[in-house]
Structure 1
Amino acid sequence: MVKKNSKPYLARIPRSGKDYWYFRKGKTLIRLPDDPDSEEFDREYWAIRSGQHKATVKTTFEALITSYYQTPRFRGLKASTKAEYRRTLELLREKNGPKDFTKLRRKHVIAARDKYADQWRKANAMVEQLSILARHAIDLEWITANPAQGVEKLKGGSYEAWPETKLAAYERYCEQHGLTIERAIYELCIGTGQRIGDVVAMEWAHFLGGYMDVVQEKTGARLSIFCPDRLQTFLERLPRNGKHILAKNLTQHISKRRAQSLVAEVRKKIEAQDFVIHGWRYSAAKELAEAGCSDTEIQSVTGHKSLEMVKKYRQQARQKQLSKTAQLRRNRTKTE
């Protein structure tokens, strides 16, 4: 609710139990000092009325992003998450730095999303980071509502397990074109059931006695995963070009983004754009379920914190096996 006193174009807007004063005329909205009885307040008000006021926008994207970086919320994030956030936040800073964040509207969030519609991850990151910035702006009492809240994210590649035909096509393409790194990424993801961020960080020293030691980046869980024969054989034949299995040089591993980019090129060639690299984690869970593994056994490999996803693939495997049993019984009945 907005109330005005005797001064024209003066608006008092209550927020969170506190009054904020503004000069409002048409599209002009300028924040005034908090105390309406002070000389500073009158000076600012009449400067605006006379056209002598040179407004300095303090609520810019630049200021908000800089402020957000200093919060315990951001500082408490893992290094990889910080880097991921920064990519989008710095893009927002570059494009909108001096602009007033308080003028951001839902239509602007949707426009930012749709600008990257052909890159759904980037589009969704825009929505996510604008929402995070808006929540911080609310904490700073710049705004009272989040314009990004409820903005629908775009749907991209499926997080389902890859079909056997696409798995075979990926293997075949890598083999035909000598794509060692692309094949290694695939074998490690399928063999260990881990996320791509954990896969690129794997070191040769972590692979010992058939086990791969992993500290999951997302959960912090420590796992020792026994590798299937196929992965062990592949690793025994793979050249060692550095400290890491997926080596960038002698001491560093390739980045997660680089791994995703390499895999994306193969996906494009084999027409598997509908399936994403994270789907290999689900392929591993699916294969374990189809082998008759219990929920706990599957969880010991993938490291899922929740059993819900594990149960999903075990139930799918059970449905598949039951359908075979049922149809075989049907065949026998017809024959008899």
Structure 2
Amino acid sequence: MKGKRRNGLPQYCSLVIDRHKKRRIRFRAKGVDTYLPFPPVGAEFEKAYAAALAGVTEWRANIGAARTKPGSMDALAVSYYRSPQFQGLRDSTKQTYRRIIETFRVKHGSRLVRDLRREHLKILLGNMADRPQAANRLLSLLKIMLDHALDNGWIAVNPAAGVRGFKKKTDGFHTWTETEIATYEARHPEGTKARLALNLLLYTAQRRSDVIAMGWHQVSGKTIRVKQRKTGAELDLFMLPALTDVLFLLPKDKPSFLLTEFGKPFTAAGFGNWFRDRCNEAGLSHCSAHGLRKAAARRMAEGGMSGDIIKAVTGHTDLKQVSVYTAAANQAALAEKGLKAIAGKKKRTASVQPVRKVGQEKGE
């Protein structure tokens, strides 16, 4: 969701009181004028807000199609938005792509696609050297859009093909250490919502977008069923005592285990921000919700679990991705296990002393 304005509400939103004296959130922008659920938090509001934003984008695309210069980057963006390739993306991905593309269009939308050269792209990326990740994301999107232009006969060659972005080695989200987990637990004791959040993240090894949706409707016996929002993978996860002992104290008439102060389910972004504050309270500003998913994978790796077992828990389909998650496993401990396996098990042979005959003296 876009950043909040001075009134504390998302872009295009305002608080109104209807004729029944009820509070409502009005979304008003060119092409869209509608009401959204109150309060302005939770999955229901996020879904309605995303739909309203999509309506604004569609309206702009329809208007822009008539105003854009044929063959321009503006026209290419409008054409790409309407393509099956773009329409088939998840809503969250569409929003991310639109944000990057629209920022690019502000400066370069009027330029013709056929005039774009490799040297232009290199200059463009060079000017973003202070933001290498953003530059790489833009390059990836331009490659996709220019492939779309190529497929539709706008250009004969994709000038972005083969252009390399910045090399930026990163381990991604920090993997929580055992000391950091203990520090968080000391700051947020059992019975707090902050501790519940940590238990759900760590003892299911799932993403924040899946953890916020977890509730009693997914529990069957000692198993919780998860359908991952990002991949669609369906997992049946055994609930450890460290998790069940906490969950069985929670009411069973709520939509999810984790709720906002308004009693509504969190959004992924909202939960991320809320959990960030809880980490900061524990002096762990470098830790995140996703880092606990990696910590769970680390624990499994250190416990000698195979890549296939770890995949069964995390829902990954690629062992290469699992290796990224388990990179923080204790190398020394794992190496010791490996070296002992190389040595194998040696058979010990006991030395047998000859039996002395009755009456035989020692040394005879």
Question: SS where residue 246 of structure 1 aligns?
Answer: coil
Give the equivalent residue in structure 1 for 2:175. 161
Give the equivalent residue in structure 2 for 1:106. 121
Match of 1:285 among 281, 297, 305: 297
Change (3 A) 1:157 1:71: same
The answer to whether the 8 Å contact 2:210/2:227 transfers is: yes
Distance 2:99 2:196 in 1: 27
* Greater CA drift, 144-153 or 312-321: 312-321
TM score, norm. by length of structure 1: 0.62
Distance 1:153 1:277 in 2: 26
Identity %: 31
Q: Does 1:304 align with 2:319?
A: no
What one-letter code is carried by the residue in structure 2 that aligns with 1:162?
W
Give the equivalent residue in structure 2 for 1:145. 158
Q: How far off is 1:213 after superposition?
A: 0.8
Give a deviation string over 1:173-219, Cα, whole Å, max 9, x none.
4459x973x54443222111122332233333113323221112333
- Which runs of 5 or more residues in structure 1 are unaligned? 1-55, 328-336
Question: SS where residue 256 of structure 2 aligns?
Answer: coil
Q: How many residues align?
A: 266
* Greater CA drift, 308-317 or 218-227: 308-317
Distance 2:276 2:115 in 1: 37
What one-letter code is carried by the residue in structure 1 that aligns with 2:175?
A
Q: How far off is 1:114 after superposition?
A: 4.4
Distance 1:189 1:59 in 2: 48
Give the equivalent residue in structure 2 for 1:201. 213
The answer to whether the 8 Å contact 1:206/1:212 transfers is: yes
What one-letter code is carried by the residue in structure 2 that aligns with 1:168?
A
Give the equivalent residue in structure 2 for 1:61. 73
Distance 1:155 1:228 in 2: 35
* Greater CA drift, 256-265 or 90-99: 90-99
* Greater CA drift, 162-171 or 318-327: 318-327
Match of 2:83 among 67, 71, 75: 71
Change (3 A) 1:134 1:259: farther
Give the equivalent residue in structure 2 for 1:189. 201
What one-letter code is carried by the residue in structure 2 that aligns with 1:87?
R
Tell me how large the CA RMSD over aligned residues is: 4.0
More helix by share: 1
Give a deviation string over 1:36-86, Cα, whole Å, max 9, x none.
xxxxxxxxxxxxxxxxxxxx8323333222211222212222333333333
Question: SS where residue 225 of structure 1 aligns?
Answer: strand
Distance 2:247 2:167 in 1: 39
The answer to whether the 8 Å contact 1:210/1:226 transfers is: yes
